Amino acid sequence: MADINFRKIDIDRFEEDVLLETDLYEADPRNPAQVLEAAKAKAASVRSSLSKGDILGSLVLVLEDPPYGPNVEEAKNLTLQTLVTVLNSTKSADIANVVKALSPDVQDSLMKYLYKGMAIPGWGDVSGSVLLNWHEKLTEAAGLGCIVRAMTDRRVV
Partner 1 sequence: MAPPEVYNISQSPVTSHAFNGDRSQVAVSLNSNEVQIMQRAGREWKPVETLSEHDKIVTSIDWAPNSNRIVTASQDRNAYVWQQTPDPLTGRTIWKPTLVLLRINRAATFVRWSPNEDKFAVASGARAIAVCSFDPDNDWWVSRLLKKPIRSTVLSLDWHPNNVLLAAGSADMKARVFSAYIKDVDKRPAPSVWGEKLPFNTICGEYGSPAGGWVHAVGFSPSGDALAFACHDSTISIVYPGGPAIFTIRVSLPYVTLTWTSEDAIVAAGHDCQPTLLQGSPGGWQAVGSLDEGSGGAKGSAGASRVGTPGRLNSAAFNTFRNAADRGLASPGGAGAEGGDTELFTVHQNTITSVRPYDGVPGAVTRVSTSGVDGKLVIWEVSAMGALTGRIGGMRLG
CB atoms < 10 A from the CB of 106, how many?
Answer: 20
Task: Report, in Å, the least distance between residue 126 CB and partner 1.
Answer: 23
Task: Report, in Å, the least distance between residue 135 CB and partner 1.
Answer: 14
CB nearer to partner 1: give 62 or 146.
Answer: 146
CB nearer to partner 1: give 12 or 26.
Answer: 26
| CA–CA distance, 33 with 16 (Å, rounded to integer) | 32
| CA–CA distance, 110 with 103 (Å, rounded to integer) | 11
CB nearer to partner 1: give 10 or 17.
Answer: 17
Task: Report, in Å, the least distance between residue 91 CB and partner 1.
Answer: 21
CB nearer to partner 1: give 37 or 105.
Answer: 105
Task: Report, in Å, the least distance between residue 45 CB and partner 1.
Answer: 26
> What is the end-to-end Cα distance of the chain in Å, rounded?
45
Distances (CA, A) of 118 to 71, 115, 123: 22, 5, 9
Residues lying near partner 1 in the complex (CB under 8 A): 17, 19, 23-26, 104, 108, 141-146, 148-149, 152-155
Task: Report, in Å, the least distance between residue 151 CB and partner 1.
Answer: 9
CB nearer to partner 1: give 42 or 112.
Answer: 112
State the helix-helix crossing angle for 32-51 and 73-88, rounded to 10 degrees. 10
Contacts of 39 (CB under 8 A, 6+ apart): 67, 74, 75, 78, 79, 82
